[in-house]
Amino acid sequence: MDGVRGHALLLPFPAQGHITPMMQLANILVANHIVVTFVNTEFIEKRLKHKSTDYLRFQSFPDGLPPDHLRTLKVPELCESLQKHAPFHVENIVEKIMQADSVPPLTIIVADGAFSFTQKIADKFSVPRVAFWTTSACGFSAYYYMPLLIDQGYIPLKDDRGSCKNDVITCIPEMEALRVKDLPSFLTVTDAADYMFQYLLREGQNTLQASLVLLNTFQELEGPVLNDLNAKFKNKVLSIGPLLLSSAGYGDALADMTNSSIWKEEKSCLEWLEKQKESSVIYVCFGSITVLSDEELVEFAWGLEASNQPFLWAIRPDLLQGSSAVLPDDFVERTKERGFFVSWAPQSKVLSHPSVGGFLTHSGWNSTLESISSGVPMICWPFFAEQPTNRRFVDDVWKVGYEMRENVVREEVEALVRKLMNLEEEQGRDMRFRLKKFEDNAIASVKAGGASYKNMQEFLRQMEKKIGS
Ligand code: UDP
């Protein structure tokens, strides 16, 4: 292994939206001659079935939960179990690497932002810990400013009947547009002892101890929030996104090895998209965790049908809580001329397909960034975590999508889909114009000379400095 520049341990939170950007980062590190040990939970690794190579090694550890546990559908239980079990196993993995002759010693630990337990391990083995928050900068900022939000009486909520949910939050710098209901869902609880509330409060503050903070975003999109965070974090916050674009720059050599889809992609929809008119299809997908009620599924279906628009709908088998997601037979029959269903879509390829003109999304950060990077406007229906914050920025700050009310009704689905897909509509035209600029900025940012590119180089340099010192 000639020319090795370092050895990074990468530890994502075990959920699709965290694994994907971490794997994209792995791709870039490997292309820069850094050996990567990618650590998943056994539950995830069984589904990904990776094969290790000299440069990209996969290891896994048990998450402490029984095989049939629903995991990401019960996030607090997953977090609690990981906090209990992961420190021991991760430390063991690090120790073994440090003692091994067959691999270079670790030079850095890059762990999910919500895994600050790795700080102790990093300190013990004298390697820096980098916190990689796979959220938007605005989402991370909300977590970081939790003490201030508590101090100012915004959270925890005084009651959960919604009376204060429209209050405008004035204390977070560069987030003036935010209402209480736009805060990450883990913050808008009434009980200060709530597990996730305390967990994120702690993790947000523990990020201050990290040597660097990485964010999968770009300066031209979230500049003001990033600048504010950098003032608080002594310039240790590096925006390196969109990683989807920068990792693609390194070609497909690692594509098979680094495929990080937990579900099997159904590529047949790409052929179907080939047959559709330019910008005519609305893509509907709620990510890897969102669950719908029967009623919500039916309202979406009716709304889509009534919109008369071609649609591609990704419906995971576990999209409906408690039962497998089945659409009414007559709906599928009636829409078969202009509807296409998959259980898991090759989403980034779908969004960059010229036939796709709009995205009905749950506003997960990866989905939002993929949409912006492909110039596709959105209808936002957030489910949890910092998705409401992303929704607010999409709708009110970047103005590249519409907010949909929490309570799904077919008339609103129909009206918003019609509005979004109408290429003549003035608001929509402005949106597409802004998106084109963001798309160009995103591409420029990861190219030589761009802000994300420079930050990535800075990250690589810091790693080498640590190795040399
Ligand atoms: N995704 C996909 N196909 C699907 C649904 C989701 O490839 O049918 C990918 C999507 O491209 C994104 C990730 O899964 O990269 C979901 O992450 P996101 O942050 O948007 O939401 P989460 O799943 O974490 O709620």
Tell me the pLDDT tens digit for each residue of 361-409.
999 999 999 999 999 999 999 999 999 999 999 999 999 999 999 999 9
User: How much is the pLDDT for 329?
Assistant: 77
Question: Is residue 327 domain-shared with residue 180, that is, in the same domain?
Answer: no
DSSP state, residue 167: P
Instruction: Clarify whether 112 is annotated catalytic.
Output: yes
Instruction: Clarify whether 101 is annotated catalytic.
Output: no
User: How much is the pLDDT for 162?
Assistant: 66
Q: Decide: 204 in ligand 1 pocket, CB within 6 A.
A: no
Question: Is residue 316 domain-shared with residue 214, that is, in the same domain?
Answer: no
Q: Which of 50, 63, 89, 112 is catalytic?
A: 112
Q: Please report, for the domain that includes residue 82, its CATH number.
A: 3.40.50.2000
Question: Is residue 458 domain-shared with residue 412, that is, in the same domain?
Answer: no
Whether 435 maps to a domain, the answer reads no
Question: Is residue 286 domain-shared with residue 208, that is, in the same domain?
Answer: no
Report the residue among 366, 387, 391 best suited for mutation to probe ligand 1: largest number of ligand atoms under 8 A from its CB: 366
Report the residue among 266, 268, 288 best suited for mutation to probe ligand 1: largest number of ligand atoms under 8 A from its CB: 288
Question: Is residue 236 domain-shared with residue 301, that is, in the same domain?
Answer: no
Tell me the pLDDT tens digit for each residue of 132-155.
999 999 999 999 999 999 999 999
Mean pLDDT calculated for residue range 274-280:
97
Q: Decide: 139 in ligand 1 pocket, CB within 6 A.
A: no
Tell how far the Cα of 367 is from the centroid of ligand 1, in angstroms. Answer: 6
Mean pLDDT calculated for residue range 306-313:
97
- Alpha-carbon distance of 391 to 379, in angstroms, equals 9
Question: Is residue 154 domain-shared with residue 255, that is, in the same domain?
Answer: yes
Domain count, the chain: 2
Nearest CA to 60 among 74, 46, 81? 46
Over the chain, what is the mean pLDDT? 93
The ligand 1 atom at the shortest distance from the C-alpha of residue 344 is 8
Question: Is residue 285 domain-shared with residue 238, that is, in the same domain?
Answer: no
DSSP string covering 223-271: HHHHHHHHHHTTT-EEE---HHHHHHTT-STTHHHH---SSPP-THHHH
When comparing pLDDT for 333 and 109, which is higher? 109
- Alpha-carbon distance of 359 to 400, in angstroms, equals 11
Tell how far the Cα of 119 is from the centroid of ligand 1, in angstroms. Answer: 28
Tell how far the Cα of 17 is from the centroid of ligand 1, in angstroms. Answer: 6
Residue percentage of the chain with pLDDT more than 90: 85
**In this structure, which amino acid lies at residue 71?**
R
Whether 249 maps to a domain, the answer reads yes
CB-based contacts of 337, cutoff 8 Å, min separation 6: none
Q: Decide: 203 in ligand 1 pocket, CB within 6 A.
A: no
Question: Is residue 250 domain-shared with residue 274, that is, in the same domain?
Answer: no
Mean pLDDT calculated for residue range 314-330:
80
The ligand 1 atom at the shortest distance from the C-alpha of residue 351 is 11
Whether 430 maps to a domain, the answer reads no
Whether 468 maps to a domain, the answer reads no
User: How much is the pLDDT for 467?
Assistant: 52
DSSP state, residue 160: S
Question: Is residue 329 domain-shared with residue 411, that is, in the same domain?
Answer: yes
CA distances from 270 to 30, 74, 361, 378, 456 (A): 29, 32, 19, 20, 32
Q: What is the residue range of 360's domain?
A: 268-423
Tell me the pLDDT tens digit for each residue of 158-188.
876 666 888 999 999 999 889 999 999 999 9
Question: Is residue 78 domain-shared with residue 214, that is, in the same domain?
Answer: yes
Question: Is residue 332 domain-shared with residue 290, that is, in the same domain?
Answer: yes
Nearest-CA residue for atom 11 of ligand 1: 347
Helix, coil or strand: residue 356? strand
Question: Is residue 207 domain-shared with residue 142, that is, in the same domain?
Answer: yes
Tell how far the Cα of 332 is from the centroid of ligand 1, in angstroms. Answer: 24
| Helices within 259-346 (DSSP H only) | 268-274, 294-307, 329-334
Whether 417 maps to a domain, the answer reads yes
User: How much is the pLDDT for 251?
Assistant: 57
Nearest-CA residue for atom 5 of ligand 1: 287
Report the residue among 367, 369, 376 best suited for mutation to probe ligand 1: largest number of ligand atoms under 8 A from its CB: 367
Whether 433 maps to a domain, the answer reads no
CB-based contacts of 148, cutoff 8 Å, min separation 6: 171, 172
Tell me the pLDDT tens digit for each residue of 190-222.
999 999 999 999 999 999 999 999 999 999 999
User: How much is the pLDDT for 430?
Assistant: 96
Tell me the pLDDT tens digit for each residue of 63-118.
999 999 999 989 999 999 999 999 999 999 999 999 999 999 999 999 999 999 99
CB-based contacts of 324, cutoff 8 Å, min separation 6: 317, 318
Whether 437 maps to a domain, the answer reads no
